[in-house]
Amino acid sequence: MARAGNRREMLHDVKLGGEDLSFTLGMTLDDIGFVRHVFRGKVRGDAIVGTVNVTLPPNHEKSIELPWRATRSATSAYFAPTGTNIQ
């Protein structure tokens, strides 16, 4: 799972082969709509370096590719309160 602000979404098509990692994340963003992110990178120690291809809804630009980097953290805010009251 991934978290962005108060939203949590599932990762899809997760693949790890050697140092190559890829996965897809779809998320609905305020004022934009549904956005698809396709992440690809190389795992190097405690970091992943690669690119993310972001596909925006039809009424926006088609897609853009951006650099992406993730670093292992000793702690996570994933389980911190999101401001969403789920019962």
Domain span at residue 54 reads 2-71
- Selection from 27, 35, 34, 33 nearest residue 9 by Cα: 27
Is 13 within a domain? yes
The tens digit of pLDDT for each residue in 8-60 reads 788 999 999 999 999 999 988 878 888 899 999 999 999 999 999 998 887 66
Predicted confidence at residue 42, as pLDDT, reads: 97
Is 25 within a domain? yes
Q: For residues 79 and 75, what is the distance between their CA atoms, to the nearest angstrom?
A: 10
Is 87 within a domain? no
What is the total count of domains within the chain? Answer: 1
Is 52 within a domain? yes
Predicted confidence at residue 9, as pLDDT, reads: 83
Is 35 within a domain? yes
- The stretch 75-87 carries a mean pLDDT of 60
Is 86 within a domain? no
